[in-house]
Amino acid sequence: MHDHLNDPARRLLVLAQQEALDLGHDEIATEHLLLGALDRRVGSGAAALASLGVTRDKVHAEIIRIVGHGHRHGTPRLRGRVARNRTRAFSLRAQWILERARREAAAIDHTSVGSEHILLALLREDGGHAFRVLERLRVNRDEAHRRVLVALDVLPYPGPTLLDAIAGNLESRIEQVRAAKDDALDRRDFGLAVDFRQIERTLVAQRTHSAETASRTA
Q: What's the pLDDT tens digit per position in 140-167?
A: 888 899 899 999 988 876 656 677 777 7
Distance of alpha carbon 5 from alpha carbon 115, whole angstroms: 9
pLDDT at 217 over 50: yes
Q: What's the pLDDT tens digit per position in 51-90?
A: 888 999 999 999 999 999 876 555 444 444 444 446 789 9
Q: What's the pLDDT tens digit per position in 167-197?
A: 788 889 899 999 989 988 998 888 788 878 8
Would you place residue 42 in the very low, low, confident or very high pLDDT band (cuts 50, 70, 90)? very high
Q: Can you give the pLDDT at residue 78? A: 44
Average per-residue pLDDT in the chain?
85
Number of H helices, E strands in the chain: 10, 2
Q: Can you give the pLDDT at residue 79? A: 44
Is 90:28 a contact under the CB 8 Å cutoff? yes
Is 179:192 a contact under the CB 8 Å cutoff? no
Q: Can you give the pLDDT at residue 218? A: 63
Is 33:97 a contact under the CB 8 Å cutoff? yes
Output phi, psi for 201, to 5 deg. Answer: -60, -40
Would you place residue 200 in the very low, low, confident or very high pLDDT band (cuts 50, 70, 90)? confident
Q: Can you give the pLDDT at residue 73? A: 55
Distance of alpha carbon 53 from alpha carbon 48, whole angstroms: 9
Distance of alpha carbon 181 from alpha carbon 197, whole angstroms: 7
183 to 42, 51, 162, 197: CA distances (angstroms): 42, 26, 14, 12
Beta bridge partners of 27: 89
Which residues, at least 6 apart from 26, have a Cβ–Cβ distance to it below 8 Å? 20, 70, 72, 88
| Reported pTM | 0.69
Is 37:130 a contact under the CB 8 Å cutoff? no
Longest dimension (CA), the chain: 65
Distance of alpha carbon 216 from alpha carbon 88, whole angstroms: 30
Distance of alpha carbon 89 from alpha carbon 119, whole angstroms: 19
What DSSP character marks residue 77? P
